[in-house]
Amino acid sequence: MIGKYGGRQGVSIGEGCERLGVIEHEIGHALGLWHEQSRPDAGEYIEVEKDFILPSYTSDFQMRSINLIPLKIEGLEKLTYKFFKGTNEINTLGIPYDYGSVMHYGSTAFSADGMSKTLLTRDPNYQYTIGQRERLSFYDIQVINKAYCEDAKCGAVLTLKDEWRTISSPNYEEDGYIENQMCSWILKAPKKQRIEIEFLEEFSFLCATTCVDYVELKLSKDQRNTGPRFCCYHKPEKSLISEGHQVAVIFRSQIGQDIGFKLQARATMKMVELKKQIIKTTTQKPTTIAGHNILSSWGQWSECSRPCGGCGIKSRVRICETAECE
């Protein structure tokens, strides 16, 4: 069954179907995905060998045409592959044909003798690509996003100039964020400029010693590196300046419900204010102060007396250079 029908809908995952890609394939059907070889443009990419297909499975290789009259189902106006009046037809949503889709059949799928090819790729280099059940492809994920999340008011790519632009976590002006939400904004300034960021108004996240719900700012030029994460009520009081002309702002909520954040950003020529302290690793020499004892620097901490997860003791020592140490 393709797409949502009625209330609760089962997903067929039988014995031998425990692989990730197989499960994703079946869930794809429930979300509205047809088989890739059923697309209306499939004939440009594959050739179906009908004579070798088991008769009861020929419909799985049928290519569908595009009908422009949408059929609404229970208030859901947009499905990954939309439903239409008449037979179930396909809307590709502008996504190219994908030989690597987890929804594509393999070369010998439902072959009558188990060996003859039922699908031939017009580009022979892809003959052994079709039929993978490893994981969702890039386009598999994109088509789901376009169908269900295209109008989401969360995350964006923003090109910044001199004037301030404002972004905030979901429902900031109303009841605040809920659990299991994630949004990303990519902020871009002209090259040779940087980005200035200031937090505004109320700021509140679930409090934890390590942030669980947070807003993260990737301020360094290396966007692969994790940026500082802010949570609880600990928002920066001063403006932050990026190292380069791009910043990623990532909002994540996992278990909490709270107000969230609001910030403003703009392009700037300001330089980064370096506040990192250089820590020397050389051992400090003992010093003598009149009327006081002479003590060496503290040594290294010992290993914990109990294994990880237990409650043990760690110790360190320093040397008293006189006999009068207390």
**Whole-angstrom Cα distance, residue 121 to residue 127?**
5
**Whole-angstrom Cα distance, residue 258 to residue 174?**
11
**Whole-angstrom Cα distance, residue 204 to residue 37?**
49
> Is 245 flagged in the annotation as binding?
no
User: Which residues is 216 bridged to in the sheet?
Assistant: 229, 250
Measured torsion, CA atoms of residues 174, 167, 157, 275, in degrees rounded to the nearest 10? -140
- Distances in Å between the alpha carbon of 260 and those of 64, 132, 178, 269? 46, 41, 9, 29
- With beta carbons less than 8 A apart as the criterion, state whether 24 and 101 touch: no
> Is 292 flagged in the annotation as binding?
no
Which residues 6+ apart lie within 8 Å of 14 measured at CB?
none
Strands 229-230 and 214-218: antiparallel
What angle (nearest 5°) sits at the alpha carbon of residue 217, between those of residues 233 and 276?
A: 90
223: part of which helix (H) or strand (E)?
A: none
Task: Determine the straight-line distance between the first and last CA of the chain, rounded to whole angstroms.
Answer: 82
> Residues 18, 24, 26, 150: which is the catalytic one?
26
- Cβ burial, residue 32 (10 Å; 0-12/13-18/19+): buried
- Cβ burial, residue 129 (10 Å; 0-12/13-18/19+): middle
DSSP, collapsed to helix, strand or coil, labels residue 57 as: helix
Torsions phi, psi for 21 (to 5 deg): -65, -35
Active site residue 198: no
> Is 234 flagged in the annotation as binding?
no
Q: Which segments are annotated as binding site for Zn(2+)?
A: 25, 29, 35
Catalytic amino acids?
26
Binding site listing: 25, 29, 35
